[in-house]
Amino acid sequence: MRISFFFLWFIVLIFPACAQSGQNLEQIYERYKETAIRQRRFKISDIEPLIKKLGPSFQVKQAGASVEGRPIYRVTTGSGPVKVLLWSQMHGDESTATMALFDIFRFLQGKGDGFDDLREKLQNELTLIFIPMLNPDGAERFTRRNALGIDINRDAVRLQSPESQLLKQIRDETGAEWGFNLHDQSRYTAAGQNEKTAAVSFLAPPVNYEKEVNDTRKRAMQLIGLMNEDLQAEIPGQVARYNDDFEPRAFGDNMQIWGTSTVLIESGGLSGDPEKQRLRKMNFLAILKAFGYIADKRYADVPLEAYDRIPFNRSNSFFDVIVRGAEVTLKGKQYTVDIGIRGDEVDYNDGRSYYVRSAISDFGDLSTFHAYQEIPAQGLAAIPGKVYPTVLPNLAAAEKLDYRKLWQQGYTAVQVSGLSSVQTYRPGPLQLLKPGGKPDSSISLGRNPGLILRSGGKVMYAVVNGQVFEN
Ligand SMILES: [Zn+2]
């Protein structure tokens, strides 16, 4: 039953998608990637020049301003009857989709690459209305909330923030039939029971606590059914469904109530993609293809089963590192534990850079959790590292140390003169401390000890500020 359904699905839906052009969007992506944006932290002043140089097929205007007076832009293209509204970075530190929107702008201005038919179709069938950074004050500091400290996504009904008012105003003015609500979610979310992270999660937000499926929501669910199929080809097993509990204050839920078929996209975590550049590409692919499906109304025949079979997000199920089954000595006795480590990003340089401060965020039996990196430590003793007693004059001297020899002697930290606070979090095989600095020395929650994993006398691994080193 299931197999034949999948097979039919493939024939009916995927085949025409491939057939419509010789090469696929995946292959031409690099050509359109906006290279002025290379990492997650950027501000309105960084993207403003890109918005202002958009070609004549775009209408650009400053639609409003944030609490602190930063511009919020509205970018429109196309002259079709179906209005599609996309807003990104309502949460200032969720910028993955904003990057993708600039790639989409570049694609839409392209020509002669085998996709002119698609462009023409989008141009004639759709009017695309983009708000590429709804919360520029939050983006300025790389924080979720706006400058009032209000979460815009809990302000859809009360509409106190100017950013919220603007989004509502644009929705009402355009009467958008479709909405794309573009966010980032925790990178520690799993895709259902898969031992994989939820790289992208979708949701057709509900319209009430009963999670009723009205026509508006149904269309969004059908479209997501198609978008999931597309992304499964790129990131198999890493697409999930966001929690579908009704949130009466949120924009997605209210957009759906107001009659705009709304698709939530949450970019999560993908191994080896700390700056979310691959996830950015996934957004590019998913959104552009969705435009095509909307223009063709191809979603209309998609069974809701295609949506319902996407596994739900499993929150808080991942760690950066799990040390599995290590032997640790606690209060004088030996225990077998898993140690789960996560890294917090600490911003500096006016919110443009960050360093990672790792800590033990859980330990005990973590057999139901997964990690980006797992250390098989069964039978190994996990011992907190000590501070090397000699104070080194500078970083260069620290770099010359034979760190393997130090690990062997039980040291994972060194004191160095003249370090800045940021330098003490520099990645490397030894933790750097200011002279007299004390590292965490216990294996307990919230602590960040250097760990040495030994098999008898031999050092097998060291873990320093969440970085794993094999010896
Ligand atoms: Zn968000």
Mean pLDDT, residues 297-301 taken together: 98
Task: Tell me how far the alpha carbon of residue 427 lies from the centroid of ligand 1, in angstroms.
Answer: 29
Residue 86 CA to ligand 1 centre (angstroms): 14
Rounded to the nearest angstrom, the distance between the alpha carbon of 65 and the centre of ligand 1 is 20
> Quick count: other Cβ atoms within 10 Å of Cβ 4?
8
CA 311–ligand 1 middle distance (angstroms): 20
CATH of the domain spanning 318-470? 2.30.40.10
Three-state DSSP class for 76? strand
Looking at the predicted structure, is the pLDDT value of residue 327 above 90?
yes
- Residue 23's pLDDT is 76
CA 333 to centroid of ligand 1, rounded, Å: 44
CA 301 from chain center: how many Å? 30
* Residue 114 alpha carbon to ligand 1 centre in Å: 35
90: CA distance to ligand 1 center in Å? 7
239-241/200-203 β-pairing: parallel
Domains 2-314 and 318-470 are alike in CATH topology: no
User: Domain residue spans in the chain?
Assistant: 2-314, 318-470
Ligand 1 geometric centre to CA of 252 (Å) = 11
Write the pLDDT tens digit of every residue in 34-58: 999 999 999 999 999 999 999 999 9
pLDDT band at 22 (very low <50, low <70, confident <90, very high): low
Cα angle for residues 33, 42, 165 (degrees, 5° grid): 105
Q: What is the mean pLDDT of the chain?
A: 95
Look at residue 5 in the predicted model and tell me its pLDDT.
Answer: 47
pTM equals: 0.93
How remote is the CA of residue 465 from the centroid of ligand 1, in Å? 27
Give the Å distances, CA to CA, from 277 to 280, 355, 392, 394. 5, 18, 38, 35
Q: How far is the CA of 49 from the centre of ligand 1 (A)?
A: 25
**Mean pLDDT along residues 130-147:** 98
Q: How far is the CA of 207 from the centre of ligand 1 (A)?
A: 19
CATH number for the domain running over 2-314 = 3.40.630.10
How many angstroms separate the alpha carbon of residue 140 from the centre of ligand 1? 16
453 Cα to the center of ligand 1, angstroms: 38
Q: What is the 184 CA–ligand 1 centroid distance (Å)? A: 5
Cα(180) to centroid of ligand 1, in Å?
12
Residue 194: the pLDDT is: 87
Ligand 1 centre and the CA of 266: distance in Å? 7
Per-residue pLDDT tens over the stretch 2-17: 444 444 444 444 444 4
Q: Report which residue type is found at 412.
A: T
